[in-house]
């Protein structure tokens, strides 16, 4: 099992106002997962509002060539990659969060 330095342990307990190192790590990781999910949800919401659809509809319209804009334009491709990354990472962090709780 990896060990942490006493200085780091003391800092974690002090920062989180936890009773012990396990509780401190639990708080830090829980808050980290919450923060990551909040940012990813904001990204997904922004892109859904911009395009007026969810990612899977957007992806299908790009694939089928029925998107109102050129699917190969720079801004469409940028949105596609950002949106796909956010959806995949959201799924990943949600599964970690379920495992953690």
Q: Are 79 and 51 in contact (CB under 8 A)?
A: yes
Q: Is residue 94 part of a domain?
A: yes
Q: Which pTM value belongs to this model?
A: 0.86
- Cα 1 from chain centroid? 28
Q: Is residue 74 part of a domain?
A: yes
pLDDT band at residue 100 under the 50/70/90 scheme: confident
Q: Is residue 64 part of a domain?
A: yes
Domain count, the chain: 1
Torsion of CA 34, 39, 44, 46, to 10 degrees: 140
Q: Is residue 15 part of a domain?
A: no
Q: Is residue 78 part of a domain?
A: yes
pLDDT score, position 2? 79
Q: Which two tokens stand for residue 76?
A: 């469409």
Q: Radius of gyration over alpha carbons of the chain, in Å?
A: 20
Domain that holds residue 89: 28-100
pLDDT band at residue 58 under the 50/70/90 scheme: very high
pLDDT score, position 95? 96
């Amino acid at each position: 099992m990896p060990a942490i330095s006493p200085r780091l342990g003391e800092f974690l307990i002090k920062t989180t106002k936890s009773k012990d190192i396990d509780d401190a790590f639990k708080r830090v990781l829980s808050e980290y997962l919450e923060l990551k999910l909040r940012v990813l949800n904001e990204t997904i919401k922004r892109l859904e509002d911009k395009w007026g659809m969810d990612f899977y509809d957007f992806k299908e319209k790009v694939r089928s060539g029925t998107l109102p804009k050129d699917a190969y334009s720079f801004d469409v491709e940028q949105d596609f990659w950002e949106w796909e990354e956010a959806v995949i990472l959201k799924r990943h962090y949600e599964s970690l969060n379920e495992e953690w709780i």
